[in-house]
Structure 1
């Protein structure tokens, strides 16, 4: 027998659930370790059952009418009375305090649901632990989804700090190559193997066996063809557990034909999807939009898909990469890959356009989070557009994300635009003109004004040929920004005012906001009074349109002006207000600007160590975005003066120590440090605050979950549908930051203890 690796968290949760419920079903995809976990749980729980534990393997049973006979045989019942097997079974179990383990129920769901219900009614001291790729769906059932093993190490140190997946690989590999060990040299490759195999124990064990003939690096290289590679399992295992393909073939066979088709089409998504996106890819001649929800729900029930929480509100779904690769292989074999990927590309093209159109609005935060959730899908859609020679769509997707790139990743955004522009040299299309001026703006922010000028020259020529006044105004606007960054303040002002007149005539509030921002910045950098009230106009526009992300920049600009006038308290107040938006919308650029200015304020107050740390966190933010403040000559000049004073005040050693402490902070930690406010609420604080975030109905559902009721029981109690209950539970998990019903129950118990106290 091989050793049991990891699963401490899952064992603890399963143990608690088994103490509270009489029917616990462990669900999950094939090879995830449901049987191994059930055996371990049964072994550890044996003393709690006076009549012991009985394990019944159902994988080989094909005739559901023989289910009772199979269980009776496992219990050693050999009745010759001629009575129905179920009658004998219930009589035998009636007074037994026993744990009955039913393994691999997924192909006998109806029979298992009926039988377990009858056995539990007849035997009050009986508890049943089932494993299945799909929940039994019977009354009183508690379901625990078994996740893959953790495959990201929690610490860079070897030994106890390595993930459960890596430990499993190491143990199984050492069983076939006795001198094998995870070392500093091979650790990253082993991590990558476990990550690419999704932490699925069966896949990891099959891979480890290949260490007989391959090195770790060779094994990693061959995982692109994982189904051909991972084919040699234990001869003692069930046939479907001897190869990775066989394990997934079994899951595929349990699906209905429409579910199989949905599985293959949904495999074109990268990094998850929501129901709207699924509808665009799955629906077609043979599948209606209205059927998509049921198909997705069926695949979730069968552990092919899993629900996923993203940054944006709403439920998302994802498949393990191994299951996704299986679906892609099936899709390719059926000759339908191009059609599915075309539907995927078209949807994300439309999504990017909607994001651009709705960006300057109260939806700004939602779109920021949604684009972050779907960045992998947008990459896939962009790449497919170029592969298919659809350069205009590639240009549109890349440029539609312009605001997102400017907030988070200028380097990647510029890379996309470079590729798309190179594929369409000289074409006169609206998509190319927009991509050119957006790309010029991004290049400027990255400090590359030379590339910006080249792109603007082409954009101006194309806009003139097309007679596109709106595009020409954008070209003037960005040319003004280039001039501003090059220190040509007078020329910048003239260009920006020219752009502003056209934008105001078109009532383009988003463009006007950007232009007045740069006009205010030009005045501030020249040290002039803002006689036109540009900064106030910018802030007022942001407030009028509810644009939180844009408002954070307007606040920064107003704070910069206050700092330049010596209004330190006012500047700090405005900077803090801007930074608080970072708790809900991550923007490395705005954060870096605010942290830099706070550093100047701290230095002026004699808080030298804090100033050095703030300059370091600002520098780290610039680095994460793929640029530096050197593109902002005016800001860089103040930075250099402040740094020189800090080095003198602290000395080189203390300055470097402070700088390193600041540079090592995560974005969230850096925001907390800059604000000098309590860190983001911990899980305990979130639990305490939960009662104020949940709606009255969600609070009611949470309390019933705490009472141990299933979704069906809660639905009956509240006279709502089980699907509605499921949605409420999902919202509760999202709001409280929990991952299971058990943790909701613990939170409810804590709330009750607090109120009793």
Structure 2
């Protein structure tokens, strides 16, 4: 009777594949969506590539699902299908099907296919940010959705948004993107539809199984069913001698049927083949190990089955493995071995005990392990398994304790990272913070929830300042700090609050909110003075000096920065003194004292190279390049910019756009390479749209002058064409272009160098040869005198000359030729 019932349920499953009945009164976020029906086939995981193809590579074989693949690809290429959502229970293979479907579509989307994993995102407000980060837009001075929309508006691109069910409230943001970006297509995976007008839903069926368990084909033909083929493949991965034969074929088929053909559940079961025979597995299933605990029976049947598969695997663990399994649920985005030990290990347990338990969880397919880029192992759950582990942690009454340990560990860890960000270990620690960014976000979320935890959040946020700045998370960092400071209570130590105000002030300054930066800096200064904290006072004065400089209050800025420098020197803190020295260099450059500016910059550079602060060394090299350009020492400017670019690359700094590209564009303008300058300015404008920040006054002046110089050297048509070309470049292409040889020359038929002047420059050169002054040239050509001066400077730079007489001689020579 049991077998007959199983057959009946299997038939019911197959009849419903690809369809879903609407529930009366089910909520929608907009107009009705169209639904696609399809038949069953099979699933797994994949790769993709193309122009901007940011898609994971295929890790294992993909089984079947020919019908589903064809359906999904056809729908994605249908003009009126803008959003296709693959739905189904956890473990059904939505992500793998989506990834595999994109493999044949690389050439169909001119701007590529971009995969965005939303698994670690728990706040719907961060979805747009996650998409922007994946697209390389990492600094936000305007609303993220507005900047993201602007970036995507003209792109023919496919976004693959994976695991959307965690953040389904972000669906209105998706609708906004689709409404504003007519060439954008989105493929989403979710346990529930997004319910917006653009959506077509595609219900992913289970892997294929025989419809009648009472009449099975022979073992060799059973592998034609994708569920059986998957089980056999994964079983052989852990037990190479495993063979599907007449002795175990029925049992394996029954196991796959009881697991509802769900790929994740089948993979977990198959991984146990080295410990249990198929018959032993089947007996355990028959004894009810798939059943959920009381209170969970209201969940959908397939959800119960997947949860049952996880619960079954969990029940086979030793007590210490179960405890570790539960404890690891507090991590978001995975954990290093050290983090797992700090949070989950008992004080009396040895490292080998923990490592052995971790290895066992990996071995039993409940935990995954992959090496980080630094070679260290990182352990993480599939999200459906993490959810189950979290439920077990809550049931055990241990959630609060583990969250406290998680927060305590990452607070200790980030306080270790903070001083290292000023040293030769800067790049290493920036990467480590990046890898655990989701865990740090989880600590900040946890700390905001209750008053007694907010000091922890403020300490973490204060320590993350340089990470947020260098890696381009300034808007997000500002949001965390504002939320925490707004909810601060009397239990928070004044020094902690002052440091958080200082961090928020710096980010506000970089984002151009000078009024807020001044207010917060004054708050931190007041508290630090009350506490007699000299290092803090010096940092606040430095912040206020930079703000005053940006407000063009140069005398005040000079006084504040000198006071900050005196305090840092009194403390013997060379690393901090370099910030004030660099600021004084900016003032000298504004005042036109270029030799003094250069000396101050070189002093700051010497200190930062000595301490190993790679990012600040790169920034001050940019300042030195700006100074050299004003001194017409273009060789030194190019050398400084080249080194600056390399240092920014070492720490993966977002200043490669707002610093390096700007400098290379300005250098091209000074070297007379107007077309290249326009191209680089266009690239910088496009690449910085999402994270443009306010320039310092001397940098803004240099930018404006170089832009004027570039426009003056080209016709409107020439400038527009070069600008447009630059806006289509990637960051790597733009940097390669900017770092290329400065000689804008070509060979004539006789092998001699032939310098290229624009048409306008040729006209100006002819007038210079006639002995006309810049004012006379301006009158003759109906242009401004300053524009005429710019043209003459460009001609001198291009020809490598130092006088107007050389231009005249060159013009006469070329005219006779």
TM-score range with shorter-chain normalisation? 0.5 to 0.7
Alignment of 1:294-305 (within 5 A): 294-305=356-367
Aligned equivalent of 1:511: 576
Structure 1: runs of 5+ lacking an equivalent: 11-26, 38-132, 134-146, 167-183, 199-206, 678-757
Distance in 2 (alpha carbons) for counterparts of 1:371 and 1:545: 20
The superposition leaves residues 344-393 of structure 1 with CA deviations (integer Å, 9 ceiling, x where unpaired) of 11111112111112222111110111111111111111111111322222
Distance in 1 (alpha carbons) for counterparts of 2:189 and 2:566: 70
Distance in 2 (alpha carbons) for counterparts of 1:455 and 1:634: 24
Aligned equivalent of 1:397: 460
Deviation at 1:515, TM superposition (A): 1.7
Deviation at 1:197, TM superposition (A): 9.6
Note closer, same or farther for the CA distance 1:616–1:163 as it changes in structure 2 (3 Å cut).
Answer: closer
Aligned equivalent of 1:632: 696
Deviation at 1:452, TM superposition (A): 0.7
Deviation at 1:156, TM superposition (A): 8.3
| TM-score normalised by L of structure 1 | 0.60
Identify which range, 648-657 or 563-572, moves more after superposition: 648-657
Deviation at 1:459, TM superposition (A): 1.5
8 Å CA contact 2:664, 2:739 repeated in 1: no
SS in 2 for 1:517: helix
Deviation at 1:190, TM superposition (A): 10
Alignment of 1:732-743 (within 5 A): none
Deviation at 1:650, TM superposition (A): 4.0
Distance in 1 (alpha carbons) for counterparts of 2:515 and 2:384: 45
Distance in 1 (alpha carbons) for counterparts of 2:712 and 2:726: 19
Structure 2: runs of 5+ lacking an equivalent: 1-38, 49-57, 66-90, 118-152, 168-186, 212-255, 261-301, 742-817
Note closer, same or farther for the CA distance 1:231–1:477 as it changes in structure 2 (3 Å cut).
Answer: same
Q: 1:386 aligns with which of 408, 427, 448?
A: 448
In the alignment, is residue 356 of structure 1 matched against residue 418 of structure 2? yes
Report the structure, 1 or 2, having the larger helix content: 1
Alignment of 1:270-349 (within 5 A): 270-284=332-346, 287-349=349-411
In the alignment, is residue 675 of structure 1 matched against residue 739 of structure 2? yes
SS in 2 for 1:619: helix
The superposition leaves residues 94-152 of structure 1 with CA deviations (integer Å, 9 ceiling, x where unpaired) of xxxxxxxxxxxxxxxxxxxxxxxxxxxxxxxxxxxxxxx9xxxxxxxxxxxxx955649
Distance in 2 (alpha carbons) for counterparts of 1:452 and 1:646: 34
In the alignment, is residue 642 of structure 1 matched against residue 706 of structure 2? yes
Note closer, same or farther for the CA distance 1:536–1:334 as it changes in structure 2 (3 Å cut).
Answer: same
Deviation at 1:208, TM superposition (A): 12
Deviation at 1:194, TM superposition (A): 5.4
Deviation at 1:284, TM superposition (A): 2.4
Alignment of 1:485-500 (within 5 A): 485-500=550-565
Deviation at 1:9, TM superposition (A): 7.2
SS in 2 for 1:217: coil
Distance in 2 (alpha carbons) for counterparts of 1:621 and 1:208: 26
Distance in 2 (alpha carbons) for counterparts of 1:196 and 1:592: 36
Aligned equivalent of 1:596: 662
What is the aligned residue count? 514
In the alignment, is residue 553 of structure 1 matched against residue 619 of structure 2? yes
8 Å CA contact 2:417, 2:429 repeated in 1: yes
SS in 1 for 2:370: strand
8 Å CA contact 2:327, 2:393 repeated in 1: yes
Distance in 2 (alpha carbons) for counterparts of 1:190 and 1:580: 31
Distance in 1 (alpha carbons) for counterparts of 2:469 and 2:565: 21
Note closer, same or farther for the CA distance 1:617–1:190 as it changes in structure 2 (3 Å cut).
Answer: closer
Alignment of 1:511-590 (within 5 A): 511-531=576-596, 533-589=599-655
Identify which range, 394-403 or 244-253, moves more after superposition: 244-253
Distance in 2 (alpha carbons) for counterparts of 1:674 and 1:269: 42
Distance in 2 (alpha carbons) for counterparts of 1:341 and 1:497: 45
Distance in 2 (alpha carbons) for counterparts of 1:265 and 1:286: 16
8 Å CA contact 2:430, 2:467 repeated in 1: yes
Note closer, same or farther for the CA distance 1:489–1:327 as it changes in structure 2 (3 Å cut).
Answer: same
Q: 1:217 aligns with which of 188, 191, 195?
A: 195
Aligned equivalent of 1:258: 320
Note closer, same or farther for the CA distance 1:605–1:424 as it changes in structure 2 (3 Å cut).
Answer: same
Distance in 2 (alpha carbons) for counterparts of 1:163 and 1:418: 32
Distance in 1 (alpha carbons) for counterparts of 2:197 and 2:365: 27
Aligned equivalent of 1:240: 259
Distance in 2 (alpha carbons) for counterparts of 1:209 and 1:196: 8
Distance in 1 (alpha carbons) for counterparts of 2:618 and 2:576: 16
Deviation at 1:248, TM superposition (A): 2.4
SS in 2 for 1:267: helix
| TM-score normalised by L of structure 2 | 0.56
Identify which range, 405-414 or 608-617, moves more after superposition: 608-617
Deviation at 1:617, TM superposition (A): 3.3
In the alignment, is residue 3 of structure 1 matched against residue 41 of structure 2? yes
Q: CA RMSD in A?
A: 4.2
Deviation at 1:651, TM superposition (A): 4.2
8 Å CA contact 2:454, 2:488 repeated in 1: yes
8 Å CA contact 1:477, 1:495 repeated in 2: yes
The superposition leaves residues 448-494 of structure 1 with CA deviations (integer Å, 9 ceiling, x where unpaired) of 11001111221122122222222111111111111111122222122
Distance in 1 (alpha carbons) for counterparts of 2:61 and 2:164: 16
Note closer, same or farther for the CA distance 1:649–1:433 as it changes in structure 2 (3 Å cut).
Answer: same
Distance in 1 (alpha carbons) for counterparts of 2:339 and 2:205: 32
Alignment of 1:74-113 (within 5 A): none
Distance in 2 (alpha carbons) for counterparts of 1:600 and 1:209: 45
Distance in 1 (alpha carbons) for counterparts of 2:350 and 2:612: 37
Deviation at 1:568, TM superposition (A): 0.8
Aligned equivalent of 1:746: none
8 Å CA contact 2:41, 2:206 repeated in 1: no
Aligned equivalent of 2:507: 442
Distance in 2 (alpha carbons) for counterparts of 1:197 and 1:535: 49
The superposition leaves residues 611-665 of structure 1 with CA deviations (integer Å, 9 ceiling, x where unpaired) of 12322333345444x3334x43332233234334434544445434433443344
Deviation at 1:246, TM superposition (A): 2.8
Distance in 2 (alpha carbons) for counterparts of 1:232 and 1:219: 30
Note closer, same or farther for the CA distance 1:653–1:330 as it changes in structure 2 (3 Å cut).
Answer: farther
Alignment of 1:10-159 (within 5 A): 148=96, 151=99, 153=102
In the alignment, is residue 457 of structure 1 matched against residue 522 of structure 2? yes
Distance in 2 (alpha carbons) for counterparts of 1:163 and 1:559: 36
Identify which range, 148-157 or 428-437, moves more after superposition: 148-157
8 Å CA contact 1:603, 1:611 repeated in 2: yes
Distance in 1 (alpha carbons) for counterparts of 2:465 and 2:624: 24
SS in 1 for 2:512: coil
Identify which range, 637-646 or 491-500, moves more after superposition: 637-646
8 Å CA contact 2:589, 2:627 repeated in 1: yes
SS in 1 for 2:330: coil
Distance in 1 (alpha carbons) for counterparts of 2:354 and 2:730: 39
Note closer, same or farther for the CA distance 1:8–1:565 as it changes in structure 2 (3 Å cut).
Answer: closer
8 Å CA contact 1:312, 1:373 repeated in 2: no
Note closer, same or farther for the CA distance 1:536–1:346 as it changes in structure 2 (3 Å cut).
Answer: same
Note closer, same or farther for the CA distance 1:474–1:192 as it changes in structure 2 (3 Å cut).
Answer: same
In the alignment, is residue 659 of structure 1 matched against residue 678 of structure 2? no
In the alignment, is residue 476 of structure 1 matched against residue 495 of structure 2? no
Note closer, same or farther for the CA distance 1:641–1:520 as it changes in structure 2 (3 Å cut).
Answer: closer
Deviation at 1:329, TM superposition (A): 2.0
Distance in 2 (alpha carbons) for counterparts of 1:301 and 1:666: 41
Aligned equivalent of 2:217: none
Aligned equivalent of 1:66: none
Deviation at 1:444, TM superposition (A): 1.0
Deviation at 1:337, TM superposition (A): 1.5
Note closer, same or farther for the CA distance 1:6–1:432 as it changes in structure 2 (3 Å cut).
Answer: closer
